[in-house]
Structure 1
Amino acid sequence: MGVTQQTQKVIVASTEPYSGKSAVLLGLVQRLKQQNLSVAYSKPIGTVWHDEQGGSFARIEDDLRFFVESLNLTEAEVRSPVLFLDPETLAKRLSGEDDINYPQKLKEDLQDIESDIMFVEAPNSLWEGSIFNLSAGKIADTLDAKILLVIPFHDKLLVDSLLTIQQFLGDRLMGVVINKIPPDMIGTAEQQVKPFLEKRGIDVFGMLPADRILRSVNVRELVSRLNADVLCRGDRLDLMVESLTIGAMNVNSALKYFRQRQNMAVVTGGDRTDLQLAALETSTQCLILTGHVAPQEIILNRAEDLEIPILSVDYDTLTTVEIIDQAFDHVRLQEPIKVEVAQELFQKHFDYDRFMQHLS
């Protein structure tokens, strides 16, 4: 393929938020660039952004900037969203003030792309964006493109969803990547789910196992979500937390439990000095204290020596745990270590040659 031929377009879609589209895109684009193919990227609907005040007021889509920086894409190889999914834009559409033909706008936005392959990242689910006529299926129809679907493995009944999606998308469905497969379900996925789907004409390009690093969240994210005060080692907020532990038992039981975990955040009361010391002597990435009780000096000094951040929160233990659990369920692929792990997983578990045959 060369720039004189028509750019091939692939819509990367998912069934729900945080399914792993970014991980699949990272692996695909890296592999294609290794094959000296030129790649472009577009995200028609901006869902995560921040505003910058420069020479002119600009809104930057975070995923777009992440891909530009991670994959060394040039300005000519990326396209900014045609709209941002903010409350004002949604209100205008609902009230009838906004009658813009967004599919046509997208088509015009991408018509001058001169790359071998163009990846278009669809919204968070197959239905999101329908109000603007920019759902995954509508984007595929507009651009005459195939859809690569990323779906997380919750249980074997994902086949129900995929068979329904196949009926809905028809020939637009290029194939699927099954992501986040729990270790104890790998055999079932490979021996039962994949053959079942392929017998029914649904090509499975990849089966990616769940990974603890990809599900991890850094301490800085926890500080932000918990609105926490950092009592010490604010220079170590990039530490990655892989699990959550509640310190509420006696110290002997806690020590045994703590030693079974890796890279954990420990939530405990500010008055539980015994549990705090036990946590600091195990694989703890941060200590989160509840109850409005300041830790003793011995705890702060030990944490300083071990370079472990201590956070203080205003929430009770139950609320704190709920917020942290939500952080694990909504992690984003931004840290360099996650990019590296995602690309390694892709190389091992994605059938690149089969994907390219479908493109051809």
Structure 2
Amino acid sequence: MGVTQPTQRVIVASTEPYSGKSAILLGLVQQLKRQNLSVAYSKPIGTVWHDEQSGSFARIEDDLRFLVEALHLSEAEVRSPVLFLDQETLTRRLSGEDEIDYPQKLKDDLDDITTDITFVEAPKSLWEGSIFNLSAGEIANTLDAQILLVIPYHDKLLVDSLLTVLRFLGDRLMGVVINKIPPDALDIAEQQVKPFLQKKGIDVFGLIPANRILRSVNVRELVKRLNAEVLCRSDRLDLMVESLTIGAMNVNSALKYFRQRQNMAVVTGGDRTDLQLAALETSTQCLILTGHVAPQEIILNRAEDLEVPILSVDYDTLTTVEIIDQAFDHVRLQEPIKVEVAQELFQKHFDYDRFMQHLS
């Protein structure tokens, strides 16, 4: 049974990058498919992509590729970006060489879609894409669509942002999902923030708690970001790292601290054999060694036995930690375990029936 308007369009937008749009899309589309509704997906602006040697799309956006594969969408249910945001494209627009009417191009691109619902993933923030007239609000106006907004929880002052967004988007704002809520803020979000927003006319479809697995990164991503040399167990780079620990203390203090952490990456000097051994005896997913000092053979042998990759980096400890911290803040929803966790969180914390009432 379809919804009353079989070509309804919903813009999934966010207030800032890495807010969790893909996770919400993943949960929504799967739930809709369970209800025998057909779904299409479009991402008008490509930001991270790979050039293909063959296939229907000469260039495919990474988020688009991921959602197509995860949701088993057919080619007829997917639209490639109308532009890919690189320096050349931006320069042409700024110089006046590019006068393409991108909103019309997007509209034409979607007009032949006949699915029940089309989801359009907006750029990284509400304002990004404005230079091409493809910000979230402009896309919604062009397509006569509603906006589902995803916003991460930082503190109670997110209500300020949402009230401003409401004034800006008006009736286009369908509702919000508040994501990544820390455990100690869940009651505040439920008892204070949600009722306040609903009184102000902002529907809250979901209060999604933060999850350590969704914030994790695999060792392969750390190797890439750190330009690291893998000294052993290159076959175990899919291990997921949930926390970061710096090994710079005495071994007794370090061991006590290591035992309190789960699935960690330990950054320490290549000459600190004592700390390296202590880390390997606890919940360590990888050792990251600084200082251009090769680890001793006993460390390499123990890491081989325990299947723990050891990375060697050229950066100092502070820079290494900054790069890893940035990796945690900019994680993407790609690994199967993350997909599974995201689906579970969606099922438990998203008010699907309320969402469907807005569509109907």
**TM-score range for the pair, normalised by the shorter chain length:** over 0.9
The reply to whether residue 357 of structure 1 matches residue 357 of structure 2 is: yes
* Letter matched to residue 299 of structure 1: I
Structure 1 window deviating more from structure 2 (174-183 vs 52-61): it is 52-61
Could you report, residue by residue, the CA deviation over 1:61-88 in whole angstroms, capped at 9, with x for unpaired residues? 1111101100000000000000001110
Q: Which residue of 2 aligns with 1:20?
A: 20
Alignment-derived partner of residue 311 in structure 1: 311
Counterpart in the other structure of 1:90: 90
**TM-score where L is the length of structure 1:** 0.98
- Alpha-carbon contact 2:3-2:359 (below 8 Å) kept: no
Q: For 2:79 and 2:328, locate their aligned partners in 1 and report how far apart those are by CA, in whole Å.
A: 30
Q: Deviations over 1:109-140 (max 9, x none)?
A: 00000100100000000000000000000000
Percent identity over the alignment? 89
Question: Aligned partners of 2:226, 2:61: CA distance in 1, in Å?
Answer: 24
The alpha carbon displacement at 1:56 in A equals: 9.4
Contact 1:7–1:115 (Cα < 8 Å) also in 2: yes
In the aligned structure 1, how far is the partner of 2:181 from the partner of 2:66? 25
Distance 1:57 1:180 in 2: 33
Q: Which residue of 2 aligns with 1:184?
A: 184
**Kept after mapping to 2: 8 A contact 1:166/1:173:** yes
TM alignment of 1:38-49, pairs within 5 A:
38-49=38-49
Match for residue 264 of structure 1? 264
Structure 1: distance between partners of 2:316 and 2:6: 58
Letter of the 1:173 counterpart? L
Matches within 5 A, 1:187-198: 187-198=187-198
Is 1:244 matched up with 2:254?
no
Q: Distance in 2 between matches of 1:6 and 1:36?
A: 12
Asked if 2 retains the 8 angstrom alpha-carbon contact of 1:3 and 1:115, the reply is no
Counterparts in 2 of 1:43 and 1:219: CA distance versus 1, 3 Å:
same
Question: Could you tell me how far apart the structure 2 residues matched to 1:7 and 1:106 are?
Answer: 15
Residues 191-215 of structure 1, C-alpha deviation per residue, up to 9 Å, x if partnerless? 0000010000000000000000000
Give the distance between the partners of 1:108 and 1:87, measured in 2 at CA.
25
Distance 1:53 1:301, change over 3 A: same
Matching residue of 2:347: 347
Which residue of structure 1 aligns with residue 75 of structure 2? 75
Amino acid at match of 2:64: L
Contact 1:3-1:114 within 8 A present in 2 as well: no
1:52 Cα deviation after fit: 2.3
Instruction: Give the deviation of 1:6 after TM superposition.
Output: 3.9
Separation of aligned partners in 1, 2:55 and 2:240: 36
| Pair 6,310 (structure 1): closer, same or farther in 2 beyond 3 Å | same
For the residues of structure 2 that align with 1:41 and 1:55, how far apart are their CA atoms?
18
- Residue in structure 2 matched with residue 323 of structure 1 by the alignment: 323
Query: Which 5+ residue runs of structure 1 have no aligned equivalent?
Result: none
Q: How many residues align?
A: 360
Deviation digits for residues 238-281 of structure 1, max 9, x if unmatched? 00000000000000000000000000000000000000000000
Instruction: Give the Cα–Cα distance (whole angstroms) in 1 for the partners of residues 201 and 15 of structure 2.
Output: 19
- Which secondary structure state, in structure 2, belongs to the residue aligned with residue 81 of structure 1? coil
1:334 corresponding residue in structure 2: 334
State how far apart, in whole Å, the 1-side matches of 2:211 and 2:4 are.
Answer: 40
SS in 1 for 2:353: helix
**Residues 1-360 of structure 1 aligned to structure 2 (within 5 Å):** 2=2, 6-54=6-54, 58-360=58-360
Residue 5 of structure 1 and its aligned partner are, at CA, apart by: 5.0
Q: C-alpha distance in 1, partners of 2:177/2:96? A: 38
Residues 191, 2 of structure 1: alpha-carbon distance in 2 compared, 3 angstrom cutoff: closer
Take 1:194 and 1:349, find their aligned partners in 2: how far apart are those partners? Answer: 13
> Match of 1:75, as an amino acid?
E
3-state SS of 2:253 partner: helix
Inter-partner Cα distance in structure 2 for 1:256 and 1:70: 40
The 3 A distance-change label for structure 1 pair 55 and 189 is closer
Q: TM-score with structure 2 length normalisation?
A: 0.98
CA distance in 2, matches of 1:138, 1:76: 25
